[in-house]
Chains A and B, each alone.
Chain A
């Protein structure tokens, strides 16, 4: 749900993977084939060559630091963020949680607000117990959303993720049958 560019992630992986393969070829060539490399690498670097290596290393490190620091963008505190009204995502979480508390198959609910490409969304994570009554569960979730919409007086863009989780692993099945 974050704003990371998926294509760039994969492009970066591809480039690094290819570089690793090239490095593997350079290192293993003479040992594997018994012949020398078809081209010669300098033994001792001239100051210029050393300078180029150092500059390249700095570029890589700076790029890596910048990249890692820009991960995980997109999370927001506010579910509704307008000049007139601001609503915390945790408030919506409390609303949904109380609506869903009656559902015996739901072990937990959490809400996280995101803003990706100027689109505000809420990710609602619903943790289901083991062996849930799925028909009832989905009905509960739909009802809870409808009631929350009515309370807010607005239909916010929502993404619901029904999952298992640590709580599901620890929790039992529903207590009443």
Chain B
């Protein structure tokens, strides 16, 4: 009953929380395919029973669409686009915007949004300005901090960068982002 989080399990859990499972996408694609298959199946059943078709017997569907070239092109374009979306979803990793906080006890995963928000707080606190005056955007390897200074009060980038960097280092994030801070030219009246 008592077991800490074993390593091999951690690797798998890490992957599951960092990357999308594509479960929803696969289900949707499959449902759409099944609906199309169901329709064709119904047409085939009607043809086998000698009944009139809903639109056309299965083997007549393709020639029917091809009769009007504009329609055929449109249908082909839609199919090609959907097909490409499926293939791209299959191939791309689908990373969540999250990262791991290194911890012995448990696997801790944090959204990039929360990290960015926390960096803004740390920077605004260090510079003594309002939180709305700092905007942080967190990419994979770098945090970009944009500071809008209070008019009349000089602000320098170095303390901002230091404050952000210190926070990120304390958190022990993986992947660990570097910090870049920029001060806007125009300030706000505080």
Interface of A toward B, CB cutoff 8 Å: 1-2, 4, 6, 8-14, 16-21, 23-28, 30-32, 41-45, 47, 49-51, 53-54, 56-58, 60-61, 63-65, 67-68, 71, 80, 82, 85, 119, 121, 128, 130-135, 137-138, 141-142, 145-146, 149, 153-164, 173
Contact = CB atoms under 8 A, between A and B. Distances in A.
Contact of B106 (A9, A56, A158, A163): A158
A133 B13 CA distance: 26
Contacts, number: 257
B151 interface: no
Contacts of B78: 24
Given A61-B41, A132-B114, A154-B1, 6 more contacts: A44-B57, A121-B9, A134-B171, A142-B103, A155-B105, A162-B110
Nearest to A85: B1
A14 B62 contact: no
A133 B63 contact: no
B59 A44 contact: yes
Task: Identify whether the interface residues of B are mostly helix, strand, loop, or mixed.
Answer: helix
A142 B105 contact: yes
Given A68-B31, A131-B120, A42 B111 contact: no
B23 A25 contact: no
- The size class of the interface chain B forms with chain A is 35 or more
A41 B59 contact: yes
Most A Cβ at <10 Å: residue of B44, B85, B109? B44
A10 B26 contact: yes
B187 interface: no
Task: Identify whether the interface residues of A are mostly helix, strand, loop, or mixed.
Answer: helix
Interface of B: 1-6, 9, 13, 16-17, 19, 21-23, 25-27, 29-31, 33-34, 37-38, 40-41, 44-45, 47-48, 57-60, 62-63, 65-66, 69-70, 72-73, 75-80, 82-87, 89-91, 98, 101, 103, 105-111, 113-115, 117-118, 120-122, 124, 131, 167, 170-171
B104 to A, nearest CB: 10
Contact of A13 (B1, B57, B89): B89
A119 B19 CA distance: 20
Contacts of B105: 142, 145-146, 149, 155, 158
Contact of A121 (B13, B117, B120, B167): B13
